[in-house]
Amino acid sequence: MSLASETIASLRAKLTRKEITPVDIITDLEAAIIKQNPALHAYLSRDFDSAKRAAESADITLPLGGIPIGFKDNINVRGEPCTCGSKILAENYTATYDATVTTKLRNAGAIPFGRLNCDEFAMGSSTENSAFGPSRNPWDHARVPGGSSGGSASAVAGDIAIATLGSDTGGSIRQPAAFCGLVGLKPTYGTVSRYGLVAFASSLDQIGPMTKTVEDAAILLNHLAGKDTHDSTSLSQGSAGVSPVSDFTANLGKDIKNLRIGLPKEYFAEGIHPQIRDRVQQAVKQLESLGANIEEISLPHTGLGIATYYILAPAEASANLARFDGVRYGHRAIGTNDVLEHYFASRGEGFGPEVKRRILLGTYVLSSGYYDAYYIKAQKARTLIRDDFSAAFMKVDVILSPTSPVPPFRIGEHRDDPLAMYLADAFTVTLNLAGLPGISVPCGFIEEEGKALPVGLQLIGKPHDESTLLRTAHAYEQATEWHKQHPR
Amino acid sequence: MPRYITTIGLEVHAQLNTRSKMFCPCAVEYGAEPNTRTCPVCLGLPGALPVLNLAAIEKTILTGLMLDCRTPDISKWDRKNYFYPDMPKNYQLTQFDQPLCIGGGVPLYELSYPKDAQKTIKNPGKVVKLTRIHLEEDVGKSTHTGAGTLLDFNRAGTPLMEIVSDPDLETAEEAFAYLNSLRQILIYGGVSEADMEKGQMRCDVNISVRPEEQKELGAKIELKNLNSVSAVRRAIHHEVARQTECLERGEKLVQSTRRWDDDRGETQLMRTKEDAHDYRYFPDPDLLPIHTSPILERMRVHKPELPHEKCARFVQDYAVSAYDANVLASEKPLANWFEQAVAADTKVPAKKIANWVINELLGHLNASNATLADSKVTPQALNQLVADVELGKISNNQAKEVFEEMFATGETPVTIIKQKGFEQVSDSGAIEKLCDEVIAANPAKVAEFKAGNDKVLNWMTGQIMKSSSGKANPKVVGDVLRGKLG
Ligand SMILES: [Zn+2]
């Protein structure tokens, strides 16, 4: 078996036992990528030579020593491209600095390797908005891997990456993890530094791991989490209200007896694919059999989630993306006569239609005369959604829902209907609005057109309680076989 | 003919003199090679995030304390959205509705007014009300050349304090005084160098003129490109005259922005209200709101004695005139210099030292176009010189000559007095001998004195000064003569 299909934990064990070397891993990855990537289109770029050099000098005594980690193409790695899936950064931009997560992973011995496709500036749920074309779902190449971290998901599920980083603004880690049958963790807002992550919506963005197992997610989180002096919104473990966790793997393997799991009735209402509902209900039974107490809860303002998200995220994005003007870096239109023309042409040519749509939307809701009606109102709705969760977490420890109400859709299926795509984020955006941690774990398969498509289960935790989330996800994972299945 | 009322409000941008920029560790440094004081944050690279420079917050809160402002418990950051090539992120981090300081005022000092207007101050003791003070980041610098526009981002991200006054000023002279006084206070607090000519302090003027009988303010017209305090004065004079003429002609003034052309001495229309930006302010999600109370408490002890407080103390403690106190307190280094001179030997009357500082030291500095920092005279040396005069060791005129030398060479008074042979003979033995000689040689004059002609004493003193070639202490001579004759 190729080392490319293994986990961080298993590779680390083999490295420590000197059964393999870091170079062996890169060599296997190279072979797998050369074979599979043309079909999956998960990687936008990768540099085997520099990865091999890094592998040769890797210090395997470090906790992640010799482990290659793939990066969503919106996280800066010094000397590498960082296109964000956009034409506007495809030229005239090479990262001049390392994101904090890059530095932290390097310090732990990991090798940043490969740039993974995503929807342009993380705006989308399918990677179809990438300027470089969509990635494919390894379970059915005719279908999307989800998004926006679709390349990160496709690579891990297709066994052409060990583990990858994604970013999650409204579900962009969890939904592709569900679509591809992986584990995807969005940490509590502030847990992982955003420094070096190209901002989509600053108050919602979080970087997180996309892995083959819950254990791998916990291992990576150990090296991603922590206060960063470069990000004012990052929080230190052990600071006010944050439970100090030194090792997120510590509680893995502990039981979940008497754990209170809430099922929000609003998340099980109409609109869910019936088979997805069925798989999730089976997962609930499984958790119950493991000793968890299941109860129905209510998150009454769930219905405001999508509207709130699609006001606040574009508002922040409209300012965040203003810097891409072709003046200092990035795509620069030629033949313009004055600065205004330069802006129009450079941005007009550089951004794709979905990004333009959201910039327009965001600009509109911030405009004088509309600000109160949209932006302020959305902030109030955000508070209501957050309060819903706070109230619910008085009664339960973990909340459970499907990750996505729909299975992976066919490439092109929603091309002319952005709204349908937006609505598919209904179960994931609320966590970002409330800043809560969420994890998607595989909970079975459904069959569509003769193909088995993965289904994801979403577990939602209290703020900074990734530990309980990981323990619950791990208990479920260990009781099932879903994570052991690989696409053919 | 109707009379017109002028209303003026000022928006001042002052660069804080912090070592590093507002949101990144880059050095604030003028004159550095272009684009060498930059990093991912101040260049607005993808993924970079701002982090607050606490020193800038402290200095702004200190400014608020000096100007009697209120600092709310919570202050926050907003994004002001507009595109311009010298602004790396195409939004500026600023404070929209929760600034660091609210209210307060700037006292107008007599000496802050233009020299030619100090005698005709309309509202003595006026304190101009402030609306707010907030903090924001400066932009880069564009240089337009024939070949294109060059951008230097060294300045981008420098902390900039915006001080907004109420429309509380009435004349160009008040605006002039406001800027001088504000500058003086900022320097006193050590928060900014506040030099308009160096761009460390910039000022936009809002000005409106209306007929006396009209209640509501006239159209607000904003003046830009004012690069010195005197330009502000000239521009306001020009603009008041222009707006008044317009109104007299029956024209309607509209809200607009005009650019001051210093060479031509006139303003030109830049844009009218219709072109106004919608800045789409919203709270910055990258920076947390600031909890000001602990900073405010910490800064209270750093609040310096302000110019007017210092003035009052000088009058009280040193018995100097109010005017002299004003002059001495006008600049903090001068006030410190003066106090060091007084402290060097407290037996020397402070008032006398004040006279020497104001008349001689400042006189010489002005004449040679130098500043206090260039002066070779030390406070201790001046004290010594004044002491010598007070003790009668040298005459006042001789002392002026000595000062001249001190100013030129930095030598001490002792050395110069020796060199010039100015040491006065106060030894009464030697003087008695000289007196005896004069009395003996002039019996007729002695008789005149005894008959009641006091003036003879001056004549005799003169003779003795001559025979001592000016070295005898005239006061001692007078005393000895009186003793011998009386
Ligand atoms: Zn910088």
**pLDDT for residue B457:** 83
For residue B257, what are the β-bridge partners? Answer: B222, B271
Is residue B447 very low, low, confident or very high in pLDDT (cuts 50, 70, 90)? confident
Instruction: Classify A398 as helix, strand or coil.
Output: strand
- Token pair of B56 as six digits: 């800038």
DSSP state of A305: H
Mean pLDDT of B78-94: 97
Q: How far is A153 from chain B (nearest CA, A)?
A: 22
Closest C-alpha among B91, B89, B60, B55 to residue B75: B60
Whether omega before A152 lies within 30 degrees of 0, making that bond cis, reads no
Q: Is B270 on the interface with A (CB under 8 A)?
A: no
Mean pLDDT of B242-247: 95
Query: Which residue in B43, B46, B83 is closest to A82 by CB distance?
Result: B46
Closest C-alpha among A121, A166, A83 to residue A359: A121
Query: Which residue in B88, B89, B280 is closest to A363 by CB distance?
Result: B280
Is residue A1 very low, low, confident or very high in pLDDT (cuts 50, 70, 90)? confident
Chain B, 280 to 309: residues with Cβ < 8 Å from chain A are 280-282, 285-288
What element of type H or E holds B172? helix B172-188
Rounded to whole angstroms, the Cα distance separating B410 from B404 reads 10
Distance between Cα B136 and ligand 1 center (Å):
15
* The dihedral sign for the CA sequence A183, A184, A187, A192: positive
Mean pLDDT of B150-179: 97
Between B395 and B228, name the one with better pLDDT.
B228
Lowest mean pLDDT among A196-200, B178-182, B193-197: B193-197
- Give the mean pLDDT of chain A: 96
Q: Kindly tell me if the per-residue pLDDT of A370 is higher than 70.
A: yes
**pLDDT for residue A271:** 84
- Give the mean pLDDT of chain B: 92
The model's pTM is 0.90
Q: Is B275 on the interface with A (CB under 8 A)?
A: no
Is residue A243 very low, low, confident or very high in pLDDT (cuts 50, 70, 90)? low
Q: How far is B136 from chain A (nearest CA, A)?
A: 17
Is residue B428 very low, low, confident or very high in pLDDT (cuts 50, 70, 90)? low
Chain B, 74 to 93: residues with Cβ < 8 Å from chain A are 79, 81, 83, 85, 88-91
Query: Which residue in A97, A339, A363 is closest to B40 by CB distance?
Result: A97
Instruction: Classify B254 as helix, strand or coil.
Output: coil
Is residue B176 very low, low, confident or very high in pLDDT (cuts 50, 70, 90)? very high
Percent of chain A with pLDDT over 90: 94
Q: Which residue of A has its CA nearest to B87?
A: A323
Residue A148 annotated in active site: yes
Rounded to whole angstroms, the Cα distance separating B386 from B398 reads 11
Closest C-alpha among B188, B41, B69 to residue B135: B69
Is residue A240 very low, low, confident or very high in pLDDT (cuts 50, 70, 90)? low
**pLDDT for residue A67:** 98
DSSP E strands, B26-168: 74-75, 78-81, 91-94, 101-102, 105-107, 127-137, 141-145, 148-152, 159-165
Question: Do A144 and A170 meet the contact criterion of CB atoms below 8 Å apart?
Answer: no
CATH T-level topology, domain B428-485: Arc Repressor Mutant, subunit A (1.10.10)
Q: Is A371 on the interface with B (CB under 8 A)?
A: yes
**pLDDT for residue B458:** 85
**pLDDT for residue B241:** 96
DSSP E strands, A339-480: 398-402, 438-448, 451-461
Is residue B274 very low, low, confident or very high in pLDDT (cuts 50, 70, 90)? low
Cα–Cα distances (Å) from A118 to A139, A156, A166, A175, A201, in that order, read 18, 14, 9, 13, 16
Q: How far is B49 from chain A (nearest CA, A)?
A: 6
Q: Kindly tell me if the per-residue pLDDT of B471 is higher than 80.
A: no
Is residue B426 very low, low, confident or very high in pLDDT (cuts 50, 70, 90)? low
Rounded to whole angstroms, the Cα distance separating B223 from B93 reads 24
Pick the residue of A194, A195, A332 with the most B CBs within 10 A to test the interface with B by mutation.
A195
Pick the residue of A101, A230, A329 with the most B CBs within 10 A to test the interface with B by mutation.
A230
Question: Do A169 and A198 meet the contact criterion of CB atoms below 8 Å apart?
Answer: no
**pLDDT for residue A470:** 98
Lowest mean pLDDT among A233-242, A379-388, B40-49, B270-279: A233-242
Instruction: Classify A271 as helix, strand or coil.
Output: coil
**pLDDT for residue A363:** 98
**pLDDT for residue A269:** 85
What pLDDT, in 10s, does the model give residues A295-337? 999 999 999 999 999 999 999 999 999 999 999 999 999 999 9
Distance between Cα B134 and ligand 1 center (Å):
21
Query: Which residue in B43, B46, B288 is closest to A198 by CB distance?
Result: B46
Q: List the domains of chain A with CATH numbers.
A: 3-262+288-294+391-484 (3.90.1300.10)
Contact (CB<8Å) B48/A82: no
**pLDDT for residue A356:** 98
**pLDDT for residue B448:** 87
**pLDDT for residue A283:** 98
Neighbours of B11 (CB within 10 A): 15
Mean pLDDT of A250-266: 97
Query: Which residue in B43, B49, B81 is closest to A195 by CB distance?
Result: B49
Q: Kindly tell me if the per-residue pLDDT of A445 is higher than 70.
A: yes
Q: Kindly tell me if the per-residue pLDDT of B148 is higher than 90.
A: no
Closest C-alpha among A409, A411, A400, A410 to residue A443: A400
Distance between Cα A104 and ligand 1 center (Å):
22
Which phi and psi angles does A115 have, rounded to 5°? -115, 125
Query: Which residue in A194, A339, A367 is closest to B49 by CB distance?
Result: A194
Residues of chain A neighbouring B282 (CB-CB closer than 8 A)? 315-316, 319, 366, 371, 375
Percent of chain B with pLDDT over 70: 98
What pLDDT, in 10s, does the model give residues B449-469? 888 888 888 888 888 878 777
Is residue B305 very low, low, confident or very high in pLDDT (cuts 50, 70, 90)? very high
Rounded to whole angstroms, the Cα distance separating A307 from A421 reads 13
Q: Kindly tell me if the per-residue pLDDT of A342 is higher than 90.
A: yes
CA angle B56, B57, B59 (to 5 degrees): 65
Residue A257 annotated in active site: no
Rounded to whole angstroms, the Cα distance separating B332 from B334 reads 5
Contact (CB<8Å) B280/A367: yes
**pLDDT for residue A239:** 61
Cα–Cα distances (Å) from A367 to B80, B278, B281, B283, in that order, read 12, 7, 9, 14
Lowest mean pLDDT among A135-144, A332-341, B82-91, B476-485: B476-485
Residue A72 annotated in active site: yes
What pLDDT, in 10s, does the model give residues B216-235? 999 999 999 999 999 999 99
What pLDDT, in 10s, does the model give residues B32-73? 999 999 999 999 999 999 999 999 999 999 999 999 999 999
DSSP state of A69: E
Question: Do A232 and A445 meet the contact criterion of CB atoms below 8 Å apart?
Answer: no
Rounded to whole angstroms, the Cα distance separating A398 from A393 reads 7
Contact (CB<8Å) B45/A97: yes
**pLDDT for residue A68:** 98
Rounded to whole angstroms, the Cα distance separating B178 from B229 reads 9
The ranges assigned to domains in chain B are 4-299, 307-420, 428-485
Runs of H (alpha helix) within B319-357 = 322-329, 332-344, 350-355
Rounded to whole angstroms, the Cα distance separating B418 from B415 reads 5
Mean pLDDT of A270-293: 96
**pLDDT for residue B446:** 86
The environment of the single-atom ion ligand 1, i.e. residues with CB closer than 5 A, is B 24, 26, 39, 41-42
Rounded to whole angstroms, the Cα distance separating B338 from B353 reads 8
Residues of chain B neighbouring A165 (CB-CB closer than 8 A)? none
Q: Is A292 on the interface with B (CB under 8 A)?
A: no
Rounded to whole angstroms, the Cα distance separating A312 from A309 reads 5
Q: Is A89 on the interface with B (CB under 8 A)?
A: yes
Residues of chain A neighbouring B49 (CB-CB closer than 8 A)? 194-195, 199, 230-232
Q: Kindly tell me if the per-residue pLDDT of B158 is higher than 90.
A: yes
Rounded to whole angstroms, the Cα distance separating A146 from A482 reads 19
Q: How far is B107 from chain A (nearest CA, A)?
A: 36
Pick the residue of B280, B281, B287, B288 with the most A CBs within 10 A to test the interface with A by mutation.
B280
DSSP state of A406: S
**pLDDT for residue B425:** 63
Instruction: Classify A260 as helix, strand or coil.
Output: strand
